[in-house]
Amino acid sequence: MQSRRQFILKGAKLVAVGAAAASSGPTVFVRGAGAADKQLKVLQWAHFVPAYDKWFDPWAKAWGAKHGVEVTVDHVGFADVVPRATAEVAAQSGHDVHMFIGLASAFEEHVIDLKEVSGALEKKYGKPVELAHRSTYNPFTKKQFALSDMWVPDPGNYHKKVWTDIGMPNGPSTYEDLVKAAPEIKKVAPQMQIPIGIGLSQDIDSNMAVRNILWCHGGSIQDAEGNVVLNSPETLKAIEYTKRLYSVGMNQAVLSWNAASNNQAFNAQETSYILNSISAYRTAQDNKLPVLENYFFVPALKGPTGIQRASEHVMSGYVVWKFSKNQDVAKQFLMALVEASRESMLASKLYNFPSYYGAVADPGTPMNKKAESGAAWIAKQCNADPFGSQPPDKLSLLASALSWSTNLGYPGFANPAEGEIFDTYVITDMFAKAATGALSPRDALTEASNRAKEIFAKWRKKKMVGGGSKDR
Amino acid sequence: MTTTEIALARPRGTSGHALSRRDIRLGEILLAPALAYIFLLVALPFLLALFLSLTNSSAGSLEFSFVGLQNFRSVMYSPVFRRALTNTFVFTFLSQLLVIVLGNILARALMVPFRGKLAVRFLILLPWAAPISLATLGWLWIFDSTFSVINWVLKVVGWLGPGQWYYWLGDPVLGMIAIITVHVWRMLPFSTVILLAGLTSIPKEVHEAADLDGAGPLAKAFQITLPMMLPILTVAVLFGVVFTFTDMSVVYLLTRGGPFNSTHVLASLAFQDGVLGGDVGRGAAVAIFLVPLLVVMAVVMLRLSRRAEVV
C-alpha cells in the first residue's frame, strides 16, 4: 500500500508530464494564419463625461471603416489604466494603442517613438501646448514616448450663495482666502459638513490638489533638471499652510475621499469649494441638481507670493506598444484623433481641451496664426457655453486656463519617478500626516523627501531620469 | 477465517493486489487536475514572486538585475511597511477572534430546531456567496464619511449630537474597525458552517454521559466540546488566518490603505507599490515577507490538529 507522500508524488509526476506534453506541442491548437485584415485595438479610459465615449467609439469605428481597418475600443476605469498596461507589457501582447491619463513615462521602454507623428502634427498645427509636451517627451532619452490629444483644466468650483453670504461673491482668489473664509462659512452654512473640500486622501484629485498648494507656495518635487528639491523652506510653508487650513476648514472626511467624493460632496452642497474639472458641474446639469444655480468657477488660486499654478486634471498620453503589429495604422489613428480635436472638445462638453490649439483653428487659417485662431475658438465656446450654462459665460475663465495650468513634474518634465511618487501618494500623505498632527510638518517633509530621493535614485540607475547632483 | 476461506471470498477473476493498484491509479488521475491548478496558479506565481523580490524589476520593463536582499532591506526601513506589518497582525488576530466567537454562537443557534431555520441559514451564507467587490462597494456607502447610514441612524437615535460625526474611513482607528467589520461579516458564514459541522460531529452520548456525571455547561464546554472540536477548529482558524493575512480586497476597496497609508496590510501595500507604483521587485518583497511565518504556522497548526484528533 502506498503512503500519502508516494501518492502525491505520483500525481505530481503526472502533472509534470502533462505540462511538458502541452508545451512541446503548441502547433496542435494554433489558429491557421489566413490573410490578415488591418486591425487596431485601442484601450481607453471610461471618460468622466459619458457623452464623450458615445462620440468616440462610433468615430473610431467610422475612421476604421473609411481606412479599411477594424477598430476595437475597450474602456476601463481610470484606476485600471496602469495595471492593464503592466499586464500587457508583462505578457507582451494586448492592445495596439493604450491611453494613459497620467504619466506614461514608466513604460517608455516598451513603446515606440512617436516623433514622426508629433513632427507631422507640429508641421500641420504648430507646437502642442507646453504642458502636453512636458508630459509626453523625455529630454533625457530624447524620446517622444506618448502623444497627447487633450488635457483638462482644474479650476476651483465654488458655491456662489455661500461665498456671497460671507462677502466674497466672486469666490476665493488666493489660498489665504480659503483660510479666512472657512470660519465664516461655518457660521453662514453650518449644515455644510466640510466648508473647504480639498482632498488629502490617496486618490487622483487629492494628488492634484496638494501639488497645486505645493507649487503655489514655491515648492516642488523636482527642479527643471530633475534634481529632488522637495526638502525646502517653501515646501515647509506649503505644509504649514495646509495644517492651518485643515484646522479651520476641513475634517477627517477629506482623508477618505475617492475620485468621486469631492464631486458628490459639492453636488450635495456639503462643501462650498472643491478643486475639480467641470465633470461634477456637467453631472449637476444633467441631473438638474439644486446646487446648479450656485455652481460657479474660479481660476487656480494664488499663493503668498502670487504664484498661480494648477495641475492639469487629466493629461491624455496615447502610446503605441512595441509589440503591436499594427504600428503604422496606430500612428494614422492618433493623427486622426488630433485632427478631430474640435469634435472631441464638443463631445466631451468642453471637458477636453486640445493639446494642439492649432487643430481647432478655423479652416484656412495660415500656419502662423493657427494657435491664435484655435485659442479664439476655444474662448468662443467657453464664453457662450453651447451646453446650456446659465449664465452662458459661466465657463469663460477656462479660456485662459492655459496660463495657470501646468504638468505633473513641474517645473521639470514628467518622468517615471514623478509617476511613482504620484501613484504611491507620497505627497498627499506628507500633507495629510502634517495636517492631522500624525507627524510634525518637518518630520512629514523629511519622510516624504527621503522616499522621493529613494524613488528618483532607482530610476536614475535605470537611466530614465536625469539630475541627482543637486538633490536636497 | 482461514487463508483458504479468504481466498475463496475474493471476487472471481481478480486479485486483491491488482484492485488496489487500479484504485491508486484512478486516485492519481483524479488528483492531477487539483495539483495542476495548485502548481500553475499558486506555486509558479509564488516562485516568480520570490525571484522578482530579489531583482529591481519594474512594471514598464522586462529587463532587470539581481539585487539580492536590497528590496527587503529597503522595505524594512519604510515606516509605511512597518505599519502595514503591524496592521496585518492586528487585523488578522482581531477578525479571527471575532469570527470564531461569533461563529460559535451562530453554530449553536443553528443546532436548535426552529421555524424558518432554512431561511436563516441561507441569509447567513449570503455574505460568503456575494462577490467581495460588490459587497465592499455597499459597505463603502455604509461607512461613507458624508453619507454613512450608520451615522444617520446614530444621529436619529441621539447618540451623535450636533457637530458630532464618525469619519469611518478618514480616521486610522475607525478605518481599521471598518475593515475588520467587513472582513468578519464576510468570513462568518464559512466559520459558522465549519463549526456547525464540528459541533454536530460530537456524539450525543458523550454529552449525556457528562450530564450523568454532573458536569456543568462550562465543564462540558472546556473539557468535552472544545477538545473534541479542536481538530476542526484548528483547520478553520488556519484557513481564516492564511486567508486574512493574504487578503487585499477589503482594504483596497474600502480605504485604499488610507488615511495616509495607515490602514494598509501587506497585500494591499504590495499592490500599491508593485502594480500602481511600478516597483515590482519591492512589491514582491512586501508580498512574500510573511511567507516563512505562514509556513511555520501552517505546519504547527496542522500538527496540533492531528494530535488533537480523537480516535
* Mean pLDDT score, A16-45: 60
Kindly identify which residue of chain A lies nearest to residue B71, measuring between CA atoms: A458
- DSSP assignment string, A262-278: HHHHHHTTSBSEEE--T
Kindly identify which residue of chain B lies nearest to residue A16, measuring between CA atoms: B36
Neighbours of A312 (CB within 10 A): 29
Q: With cut-offs at 50, 70 and 90, classify the pLDDT of residue A28.
A: very low
- Grid cell, residue A386, equals 453651447
Query: Residue A202 is nearest to which of B36, B40, B258, comparing CB atoms?
Result: B258
The predicted pLDDT at position B130 comes to 83
pLDDT tens for B195-252 read: 888 888 888 887 788 888 887 878 777 777 777 888 888 888 888 888 888 888 899 9
Which amino acid, residue A5? Answer: R
Q: Which of A379-393, B68-82, B125-139, B213-227 has the lowest mean pLDDT?
A: B213-227
Q: Is B74 on the interface with A (CB under 8 A)?
A: yes
| A237/B213 Cα distance (integer angstroms) | 76
* Mean pLDDT score, A381-391: 95
The predicted pLDDT at position A16 comes to 58
8 Å CB contact of B167 and A252: yes
Q: With cut-offs at 50, 70 and 90, classify the pLDDT of residue B174.
A: very high
Kindly identify which residue of chain A lies nearest to residue B32, measuring between CA atoms: A11
Q: At what angle do helices A115-125 and A370-383 cross, to 10 degrees?
A: 80
Query: With contacts defined as CB-CB under 8 Å, which chain B residues touch A255?
Result: 167, 169-171, 258-260
User: Distance (Å) from the C-alpha of residue A243 to the closest C-alpha of chain B?
Assistant: 14
8 Å CB contact of B60 and A106: yes
CA-based nearest residue to A101, from A85, A89, A121, A90: A85
8 Å CB contact of A433 and B260: yes
* Domain A38-148+314-389 shares a fold with domain A156-312+407-461: yes
Query: Residue B279 is nearest to which of A193, A420, A433, comparing CB atoms?
Result: A420
User: Distance (Å) from the C-alpha of residue B34 to the closest C-alpha of chain A?
Assistant: 9
* Mean pLDDT score, B129-139: 86
Bridge partner list, A40: A71
Question: Who has greater pLDDT, B299 or A28?
Answer: B299
Helix (H) or strand (E) holding A165: helix A160-165
Pairing of strands A317-320, A97-100: antiparallel
The predicted pLDDT at position A307 comes to 97
The predicted pLDDT at position A32 comes to 40
Query: Residue A256 is nearest to which of B74, B259, B275, comparing CB atoms?
Result: B259
| A228/A221 Cα distance (integer angstroms) | 6
C-beta separation of A291 from A265 below 8 A: no
Query: With contacts defined as CB-CB under 8 Å, which chain B residues touch A465?
Result: none
The predicted pLDDT at position B206 comes to 79
The predicted pLDDT at position A189 comes to 96
Q: With cut-offs at 50, 70 and 90, classify the pLDDT of residue A1.
A: low
Q: With cut-offs at 50, 70 and 90, classify the pLDDT of residue B137.
A: confident
Kindly identify which residue of chain A lies nearest to residue B58, measuring between CA atoms: A106
The predicted pLDDT at position A125 comes to 96
Domain B78-308 matching CATH 3.40.1350.10: the answer reads: no
Q: Report whether pLDDT(A152) > 90.
A: yes
C-beta separation of B56 from B204 below 8 A: no
Query: Residue B169 is nearest to which of A251, A256, A432, comparing CB atoms?
Result: A256
Pairing of strands A310-311, A405-406: parallel
Contact residues for B108 (Cβ-Cβ < 8 A; gap 6+): B199
Per-domain residue ranges for chain B? 78-308
Q: Is B18 on the interface with A (CB under 8 A)?
A: no
Query: With contacts defined as CB-CB under 8 Å, which chain B residues touch A462?
Result: 56, 58, 61
DSSP state of A298: E
8 Å CB contact of B171 and A261: no
Kindly identify which residue of chain B lies nearest to residue A104, measuring between CA atoms: B60
| B58/A101 Cα distance (integer angstroms) | 20
DSSP state of B55: B
Question: Who has greater pLDDT, B8 or A57?
Answer: A57
Query: With contacts defined as CB-CB under 8 Å, which chain B residues touch A436?
Result: 259-260
Q: Report whether pLDDT(B120) > 50.
A: yes
Q: Report whether pLDDT(A347) > 80.
A: yes
* Mean pLDDT score, B159-171: 90
User: Distance (Å) from the C-alpha of residue A96 to the closest C-alpha of chain B?
Assistant: 16
| A79/A456 Cα distance (integer angstroms) | 23
Bridge partner list, B205: none
The predicted pLDDT at position A19 comes to 54
Chain B from 41 to 60: CB within 8 A of any A CB: 56, 58-60
- DSSP assignment string, B195-263: HHHHHHTS-HHHHHHHHHTT--HHHHIIIIIHHHHHHHHHHHHHHHHHHHHT--HHHHHHTTT-STTSS
Q: Is B133 on the interface with A (CB under 8 A)?
A: no
Pairing of strands A156-159, A97-100: unpaired
* Mean pLDDT score, B154-174: 91
Average pLDDT of every residue of chain B: 85
Query: Residue B261 is nearest to which of A89, A110, A429, comparing CB atoms?
Result: A429
| B102/B100 Cα distance (integer angstroms) | 6
Kindly identify which residue of chain B lies nearest to residue A252, measuring between CA atoms: B170
Q: Give the number of A-B residue pairs with CB atoms closer than 8 Å.
A: 156
Q: Which of A39-53, A295-309, B234-248 has the lowest mean pLDDT?
A: B234-248
pLDDT tens for A220-257 read: 999 999 999 999 999 999 999 999 999 999 999 999 99
Q: Report whether pLDDT(A41) > 80.
A: yes
Query: With contacts defined as CB-CB under 8 Å, which chain A residues touch B44?
Result: none
Q: With cut-offs at 50, 70 and 90, classify the pLDDT of residue A17.
A: low
Q: Is B155 on the interface with A (CB under 8 A)?
A: no
Q: Which ipTM score applies to this complex?
A: 0.80
8 Å CB contact of B170 and A201: yes
User: Distance (Å) from the C-alpha of residue A220 to the closest C-alpha of chain B?
Assistant: 20
CA dihedral (A318, A323, A325, A328) in degrees, to 10, reads: 40
* Mean pLDDT score, A378-397: 96
Per-domain residue ranges for chain A? 38-148+314-389, 156-312+407-461
* Mean pLDDT score, A339-356: 97
Kindly identify which residue of chain A lies nearest to residue B75, measuring between CA atoms: A451
Query: With contacts defined as CB-CB under 8 Å, which chain B residues touch A254?
Result: 170
Over pLDDT 70: what percentage of chain B?
92
Classify A38-148+314-389 by CATH class.
alpha beta
The predicted pLDDT at position B59 comes to 80
The predicted pLDDT at position A121 comes to 97
CA-based nearest residue to A350, from A405, A260, A281, A266: A281
Q: Is B39 on the interface with A (CB under 8 A)?
A: yes
Q: In chain A, helix, strand, coil percent, each to 5?
A: 50, 15, 35
C-beta separation of A146 from A114 below 8 A: yes
Over pLDDT 70: what percentage of chain A?
92
* Mean pLDDT score, A65-71: 95
Average pLDDT of every residue of chain A: 92
Query: With contacts defined as CB-CB under 8 Å, which chain B residues touch A193?
Result: 146, 165
Query: Residue B170 is nearest to which of A108, A255, A461, comparing CB atoms?
Result: A255
Query: Residue B145 is nearest to which of A18, A110, A252, comparing CB atoms?
Result: A252
8 Å CB contact of B165 and A193: yes
The angle formed by the CA atoms of residues B139, B143 and B149, to the nearest 5 degrees, is 95
Kindly identify which residue of chain A lies nearest to residue B261, measuring between CA atoms: A429
Mutation choice for A interface testing from B56, B58, B252, B255 by most A CBs within 10 A: B58
User: Distance (Å) from the C-alpha of residue B147 to the closest C-alpha of chain A?
Assistant: 9
Q: In chain B, helix, strand, coil percent, each to 5?
A: 75, 0, 25
Give the CATH number of domain A156-312+407-461; options: 3.30.1390.20, 3.40.190.10, 3.40.50.720, 3.60.21.10: 3.40.190.10
* Mean pLDDT score, B165-183: 94
How buried is B115 (Cβ within 10 angstroms: 0-12 exposed, 13-18 middle, 19+ buried)? exposed
Q: Is B273 on the interface with A (CB under 8 A)?
A: yes
Q: Which of A10-24, A348-362, A392-406 has the lowest mean pLDDT?
A: A10-24
